[in-house]
Chain A
């Protein structure tokens, strides 16, 4: 029995692997823009890869590839069959597989970002998939959204309120948003961004760098896993092709 015991922790085993950062939030709030911004500011110092969960196929992945912020091969798109929240919460197998595929191909990595397909306020990442998660709101949804709470707003490790440049236009009061968010978030951080104006989202990047540092202090430097998913090497392939003996 003991022989199989390790497998129970197989998927989530944190030792020596990249930090997995989930980015969730409603459609259009700026998740993809934030991923691009993080790639811009973290790319030079961290080994990155990205998984997208587009509602419609590879749109976000294509945007990121075109943006030229990361080697296009380091982006994998996962299709979610109309149910983006299922893929990050109830059935995370495809996302885990994508994360591990990237680690196999490009590992060791420091940070793998998983962007959710965009959903309602109740959608959060399973702890089996994301070690840390960011929930992205934007001001155009109105300044009452943080007060309404919901698991994304209350429990995410970081709440990002994006598109502050639009606040005057939509009449959103950022101090109200800040106060309400603090009230439901139990001291967890909130950052206000305008990715339109700060193309590197530097405050978020700084937070992410801290998370990666803390992760690596706790779980060690990422190293390459010769995991059970590693592509069969050429010798083995040849052996398989040879006539059965």
Chain B
């Protein structure tokens, strides 16, 4: 299973997950006269992809990686079953470590595994509460990259709807954990990444689906709102194909930029070391160690004992997400908030 077909299903505008009712700011841009035709729309889509598109792609890749690690078999009892539809041929115990994370990488095509190779891995056995808190943290990272409350609300609504649909299409432990962790609905890219992993996609495929939907929804909305020639608009999307690939690649690369260009000051605040937290600089060390080799990380973790192992493992995931892109688009923020004041709107966002 290399996830290609699942990727098509996931990115299809007919996926029944509520996407058709979101214009990604286009309705308000049209109302304000900022988008009046194909030329404006092309610039709108290009800018949207370079900002919100990149951010959602990176979050989706991160979520996919996390979900895959949760689904990956761990030693000992309580091993999660392989994800996938109950009827699928791939059902049954996984064949070896890392299977669920391979996605398309197993046949070695074009580096689909990018972004999955160095993640901090499955939890030390025995504690799902840790995974719940990791999902919350990743969702909080999405919050921190979404200043506009209107956009957070739209992202959570879409995430909630996607999660509802995905849990029936691709039931998995990761999706259940995510639903438990963020009951009000995770940000859409977080849900998308988790769904992608459950469908057998790799992080790069999740990123591509996120980047793709970040422009196709607004493009379709513009066709409906402005009566544009649908082929003209699809030509604009075709022109973005290379940028879409690049965005997905950049999103995954950002996951491996786990060490910010300088250490996070939060790790060494005035408060002093907190109970149960890794000491100052720990996360960066762990990140470096992780870059040096996954196996070595595991060895250290085992030696450090159970509790420290958990903390270190969590810190490694956290460190992986600090530096994810947060490209902001002030105009999109203003459009999203302005949209809420429109008494005659057709789209949710």
Report A's interface with B, CB cutoff 8 A. Answer: 1, 3-5, 7-8, 10-11, 55-58, 78-83, 86-87, 90-94, 96-97, 228-232, 240, 243-245
Choose from B17, B91, B225, B314 the contact partner of A93 (Cβ within 8 Å). B17
Instruction: Tell me if B282 is interfacial: C-beta within 8 Å of chain A.
Output: no
Q: 16 new A-B pairs (CB below 8 Å) besides A97-B160, A240-B136? A: A3-B81, A4-B172, A55-B346, A57-B345, A79-B345, A79-B348, A80-B20, A81-B348, A90-B14, A92-B16, A93-B16, A93-B18, A97-B157, A229-B184, A229-B185, A245-B276
Instruction: Tell me if B343 is interfacial: C-beta within 8 Å of chain A.
Output: yes
CB of A5 within 8 A of CB of B86, answer yes
CB closest residue in chain A, given B16: A91
CB closest residue in chain B, given A4: B171
Specify which chain B residues have a CB less than 8 angstroms from the CB of A11 in the assembled complex.
164, 168
CB of A57 within 8 A of CB of B346, answer yes
List the 6 closest A-B pairs by CB distance, nearest first.
A4-B171, A81-B21, A245-B276, A93-B161, A91-B16, A93-B18
**What band does the interface of chain B fall in when counting residues whose beta carbon is under 8 Å from A?**
35 or more
Docked complex Cα distance between A7 and B168 (Å): 6
Instruction: Tell me if B62 is interfacial: C-beta within 8 Å of chain A.
Output: no
CB closest residue in chain B, given A54: B346
CB of B346 within 8 A of CB of A86, answer no
CB of A79 within 8 A of CB of B346, answer yes
CB of B164 within 8 A of CB of A97, answer yes
Max chain B C-beta neighbours (<10 A), residue from A4, A56, A96: A4
Within 8 A of A (CB), among B162-201: 162, 164-165, 167-168, 171-172, 176, 179-180, 183-185
CB closest residue in chain B, given A240: B136
CB closest residue in chain A, given B315: A244
CB of B224 within 8 A of CB of A82, answer yes
* Cβ contacts A to B, 22 pairs, < 8 Å: A1-B86, A7-B168, A55-B346, A56-B345, A57-B342, A57-B345, A57-B346, A79-B348, A82-B347, A90-B16, A91-B14, A91-B15, A91-B17, A91-B20, A93-B17, A93-B18, A229-B160, A229-B184, A240-B133, A240-B136, A243-B274, A245-B275
CB of A8 within 8 A of CB of B168, answer yes
Docked complex Cα distance between A82 and B275 (Å): 53
Choose from B20, B86, B171, B311 the contact partner of A245 (Cβ within 8 Å). B311
Specify which chain A residues have a CB less than 8 angstroms from the CB of B133 in the assembled complex.
240, 244
Max chain B C-beta neighbours (<10 A), residue from A11, A55, A94: A94
CB of A87 within 8 A of CB of B164, answer no
Docked complex Cα distance between A1 and B81 (Å): 7
CB of A81 within 8 A of CB of B179, answer no
CB of A56 within 8 A of CB of B346, answer yes
Specify which chain B residues have a CB less than 8 angstroms from the CB of A58 in the assembled complex.
343
Docked complex Cα distance between A90 and B179 (Å): 24
CB of A93 within 8 A of CB of B165, answer yes
CB of A231 within 8 A of CB of B183, answer yes
CB closest residue in chain B, given A12: B168
Choose from A1, A56, A79 the contact partner of B21 (Cβ within 8 Å). A79
CB closest residue in chain A, given B161: A93
Least CB distance from A7 to B in Å reads: 5
Choose from A3, A8, A243 the contact partner of B277 (Cβ within 8 Å). A243
CB of A228 within 8 A of CB of B21, answer no
CB of B311 within 8 A of CB of A228, answer no
Docked complex Cα distance between A237 and B3 (Å): 36
Least CB distance from B78 to A in Å reads: 12
CB of A244 within 8 A of CB of B277, answer yes
Specify which chain A residues have a CB less than 8 angstroms from the CB of B16 in the assembled complex.
90-93
Least CB distance from A123 to B in Å reads: 15
Specify which chain A residues have a CB less than 8 angstroms from the CB of B275 in the assembled complex.
245
Choose from B15, B162, B344 the contact partner of A56 (Cβ within 8 Å). B344
CB closest residue in chain A, given B27: A81
Specify which chain A residues have a CB less than 8 angstroms from the CB of B17 in the assembled complex.
91, 93
CB of A8 within 8 A of CB of B171, answer yes
Least CB distance from B87 to A in Å reads: 10
Choose from A80, A96, A228 the contact partner of B180 (Cβ within 8 Å). A228
CB of B18 within 8 A of CB of A91, answer yes
Specify which chain A residues have a CB less than 8 angstroms from the CB of B184 in the assembled complex.
229, 231-232
Docked complex Cα distance between A3 and B184 (Å): 23
Instruction: Tell me if B23 is interfacial: C-beta within 8 Å of chain A.
Output: yes
Specify which chain A residues have a CB less than 8 angstroms from the CB of B180 in the assembled complex.
228
CB closest residue in chain B, given A227: B183
Q: What does the 1/0 interface line of B144-162 toward A look like (CB < 8 Å)?
A: 0000000000000100111
Specify which chain A residues have a CB less than 8 angstroms from the CB of B314 in the assembled complex.
244
CB of B224 within 8 A of CB of A10, answer no
